[in-house]
Amino acid sequence: MSASYRQCASAVVFNKKGLVLVCARNDQKHDDWQFPQGGIEEGETGAEAAQRELFEETSVKSVELVTSIEEGMRYSFPDFILKNREKRGIYNLGQDMHWSLFRFTGEDSEINLNTAEPEFKKYEWVTLDEAVERVVDFKKEVYAKMAKVFKPYIG
């Protein structure tokens, strides 16, 4: 099987205070922060996939799409992650991230990480710059590129 890059959608959600929703992964002992994300399914746009993943991972439905970055921004997995993924039969080298920015129109009580398949153990509202700082090193470059595009929309 030839290795490739997975097409992945990520949801950046901001609230009325201009803070973004970041979540700590459930499968790590320490806090690995990221935005809700997941694979783009056949027939989905990046924005549709991002909104679906947002709901599946956080139960959040009350959002309005502000803008999207259609072109994927690529990052590669470090060797230790590649080896763990290969043990599970997953061979992609990294991901092409397709970003969508959403305005949160609901209340925090809507956020529920105890989903059918929990991916996150906690969440926080932080500045976009802080979200970029918190992400794991191998994702920082694509997060910084996304932040440069989305920051003017957040205010």
Task: Say what the pLDDT of residue 8 is.
Answer: 96
Residues of the chain short of pLDDT 70, as ranges, are 1-3
Task: Say what the pLDDT of residue 1 is.
Answer: 42
Q: What's at 13, amino acid-wise?
A: V
Task: Say what the pLDDT of residue 86 is.
Answer: 87
Q: What is the DSSP letter of 19?
A: -
Task: Say what the pLDDT of residue 30 is.
Answer: 79
Rounded Cα distance, 75 and 147, in Å: 15
Positive or negative CA dihedral for 136, 65, 14, 110? negative
Task: Say what the pLDDT of residue 98 is.
Answer: 97
Which residue blocks in 19-104 are alpha helix, DSSP H?
46-58, 79-87
Rounded Cα distance, 12 and 143, in Å: 10
Longest dimension (CA), the chain: 47
Task: Say what the pLDDT of residue 3 is.
Answer: 60
Domains of the chain plus CATH, in order, are 5-150 (3.90.79.10)
Rounded Cα distance, 133 and 139, in Å: 10
